Chain A
Amino acid sequence: MATGSELGPRLLRGLREAWQIARGIAGERAYEIYLEHHAREHPGVEPMGERVFWRHHTDRGDTDPGSRCC
Chain B
Amino acid sequence: MSSVPVNGRAAPPPAPGKPKWTPKSIAVWAGVALVGAVSWGVIAIGRGEEVSAAWLIFAALASYAIAYRFYARFIQYKVLVADATRATPAERLDNGADFHPTDRRVLYGHHFAAIAGAGPLVGPVLAAQMGFLPGTIWIILGVIFAGAVQDMVVLFFSTRRNGRSLGQMAREEIGPVGGIAALIAVLSIMIILLAVLAMVVVNALAESPWGAFSLIMTIPIALFMGVYLRFVRPGKVMETSAIGVVLLLLSIVGGGWVAEHAVLSEVFLFTKNELTIGLIAYGFIASVLPVWLLLAPRDYLSTFMKVGVVVLLAVSILIAMPSLQLPRFTEFAFNGQGPVVAGPLFPFVFITIACGALSGFHALISSGTTPKLIEKETQVRMIGYGSMLTESFVAVMALITACIIDPGVYFAMNMPMNALGGSVESAAATVSQLGFTVDAATLQQIARDIGENEIIARTGGAPTFALGAATIFSSVFGGQAMMAFWYHFAVMFEALFILTTVDAGTRVGRFMLQDTLGNVYKPMRNPSWRPGAWICSALIVGGWGYFLWAGVNDPLGGINQLFPLFGIANQLLAAIALAVCTTLIIKAGKAKYAWVTLVPLAWDAVVTLTASYQKVFSPDPKIGFFAQRSQFSEALANGEPGVGAVQGEEAMRQVVVNTTVQGTLSVLFALLVVIILVDSVRVWIQALRAPAGSLPLTEVPYEKSRSWAPDGLIPTREEREYARSLEGVGAEEKKE
Tell me how far the C-beta of B391 lies from the nearest C-beta in chain A, rounded to whole angstroms: 9
Tell me how far the C-beta of A29 lies from the nearest C-beta in chain B, rounded to whole angstroms: 8
Tell me how far the C-beta of B182 lies from the nearest C-beta in chain A, rounded to whole angstroms: 15
List the B residue with the shortest CB-CB distance to A25.
B109
Partner of A26, one of B114, B238, B359: B238
List the B residue with the shortest CB-CB distance to A27.
B237
A33 on interface, CB distance cutoff 8 Å? yes
Residue from the set B117, B296, B368, B500 with the largest chain A CB neighbour count within 10 Å: B296
B96 touches A34 (CB 8 A): yes
B103 touches A24 (CB 8 A): yes
Query: Which residues of B have CB within 8 Å of A70?
Result: 117-119, 193, 197, 354-355, 359, 361, 501, 570
List the B residue with the shortest CB-CB distance to A34.
B96
A23 touches B238 (CB 8 A): yes
Query: Which residues of A have CB within 8 Å of B299?
Result: 68
Given A24-B103, A68-B114, A70-B197, decide whether A61 and B296 contact each other with a Cβ distance below 8 A.
yes
B361 touches A22 (CB 8 A): no
A58 on interface, CB distance cutoff 8 Å? yes
Determine the main DSSP class of B at the interface with A: helix
Interface size class, chain A: 35 or more
Query: Which residues of A have CB within 8 Å of B291?
Result: 58-59, 61-62, 65
Near A by CB (< 8 A), chain B positions 505-537 give 505, 507-508, 511, 527-528
Given A28-B236, A50-B235, A54-B234, decide whether A67 and B292 contact each other with a Cβ distance below 8 A.
no
B193 touches A66 (CB 8 A): no
Query: Which residues of B have CB within 8 Å of A12?
Result: none
Tell me how far the C-beta of B89 lies from the nearest C-beta in chain A, rounded to whole angstroms: 15
Residue from the set B96, B103, B508 with the largest chain A CB neighbour count within 10 Å: B96
Assembly CA distance A2 to B548 (angstroms): 59
Query: Which residues of B have CB within 8 Å of A37?
Result: 94-96, 100
Query: Which residues of B have CB within 8 Å of A38?
Result: 96
B300 on interface, CB distance cutoff 8 Å? yes
A21 touches B119 (CB 8 A): no
List the A residue with the shortest CB-CB distance to B234.
A54
A46 on interface, CB distance cutoff 8 Å? no
Query: Which residues of A have CB within 8 Å of B511?
Result: 63, 65
List the A residue with the shortest CB-CB distance to B510.
A65
List the A residue with the shortest CB-CB distance to B509.
A65
Assembly CA distance A63 to B511 (angstroms): 8
List the A residue with the shortest CB-CB distance to B367.
A67
B653 on interface, CB distance cutoff 8 Å? no
Given A21-B103, A33-B96, A67-B504, decide whether A59 and B114 contact each other with a Cβ distance below 8 A.
no
A26 touches B504 (CB 8 A): no
B116 touches A66 (CB 8 A): no
Write the A11-54 contact mask toward B (1 if CB under 8 angstroms, else 0).
00000000001111111101101101110010000000011011
Partner of B365, one of A26, A30, A51, A69: A69
Tell me how far the C-beta of B216 lies from the nearest C-beta in chain A, rounded to whole angstroms: 21
B325 on interface, CB distance cutoff 8 Å? no
Assembly CA distance A59 to B527 (angstroms): 12
B214 on interface, CB distance cutoff 8 Å? no
Assembly CA distance A25 to B396 (angstroms): 24
Query: Which residues of B have CB within 8 Å of A34?
Result: 96-97
Assembly CA distance A12 to B397 (angstroms): 33
B659 on interface, CB distance cutoff 8 Å? no
Assembly CA distance A69 to B303 (angstroms): 12
B241 on interface, CB distance cutoff 8 Å? yes
Write the B233-275 contact mask toward A (1 if CB under 8 angstroms, else 0).
0111110010000000000000000000000000000000000
B295 on interface, CB distance cutoff 8 Å? yes
List the B residue with the shortest CB-CB distance to A22.
B238
Query: Which residues of B have CB within 8 Å of A41?
Result: 96
Residue from the set A30, A34, A58 with the largest chain B CB neighbour count within 10 Å: A58
B594 on interface, CB distance cutoff 8 Å? no
B102 on interface, CB distance cutoff 8 Å? yes
Tell me how far the C-beta of A45 lies from the nearest C-beta in chain B, rounded to whole angstroms: 13
Assembly CA distance A64 to B504 (angstroms): 10
A67 touches B237 (CB 8 A): no
Query: Which residues of B have CB within 8 Å of A54?
Result: 229-230, 234-235
Write the B108-143 contact mask toward A (1 if CB under 8 angstroms, else 0).
011001111111000000000000000000000000
B48 on interface, CB distance cutoff 8 Å? no
B369 on interface, CB distance cutoff 8 Å? yes
B117 touches A66 (CB 8 A): no
Tell me how far the C-beta of B198 lies from the nearest C-beta in chain A, rounded to whole angstroms: 12
List the B residue with the shortest CB-CB distance to A62.
B291
Write the B212-240 contact mask toward A (1 if CB under 8 angstroms, else 0).
00000000000000000110001111100
B235 touches A28 (CB 8 A): yes
Tell me how far the C-beta of B530 lies from the nearest C-beta in chain A, rounded to whole angstroms: 12
B15 on interface, CB distance cutoff 8 Å? no
B507 touches A50 (CB 8 A): no
Given A25-B106, A54-B234, decide whether A61 and B295 contact each other with a Cβ distance below 8 A.
yes
Query: Which residues of A have CB within 8 Å of B300?
Result: 26-27
Query: Which residues of B have CB within 8 Å of A58?
Result: 229-230, 291-292, 296
List the A residue with the shortest CB-CB distance to B96.
A37
Query: Which residues of A have CB within 8 Å of B365?
Result: 67, 69
Partner of B106, one of A24, A36, A53, A68: A24
A55 touches B230 (CB 8 A): yes
Near A by CB (< 8 A), chain B positions 181-226 give 193, 197
Tell me how far the C-beta of B635 lies from the nearest C-beta in chain A, rounded to whole angstroms: 36
Query: Which residues of A have CB within 8 Å of B98?
Result: 64
List the A residue with the shortest CB-CB distance to B95.
A37
Write the B348-378 contact mask toward A (1 if CB under 8 angstroms, else 0).
0000001100010110110011000000000
15 A-B Cβ contacts within 8 A?
Answer: A21-B103, A23-B238, A25-B113, A33-B96, A33-B100, A36-B96, A50-B234, A58-B296, A61-B292, A62-B291, A68-B114, A69-B114, A69-B355, A69-B364, A70-B197
Chain B positions within 8 Å of A, measured between CB atoms, are 94-98, 100, 102-103, 105-106, 109-110, 113-119, 193, 197, 229-230, 234-238, 241, 290-292, 295-296, 299-300, 303-304, 354-355, 359, 361-362, 364-365, 368-369, 500-501, 504-505, 507-508, 511, 527-528, 570
Q: Assuming A26-B241, A38-B96, A51-B234, what are 12 further A-B pairs, CB within 8 angstroms?
A: A24-B105, A25-B106, A28-B235, A54-B234, A60-B97, A65-B295, A66-B504, A67-B368, A67-B504, A69-B359, A70-B118, A70-B361
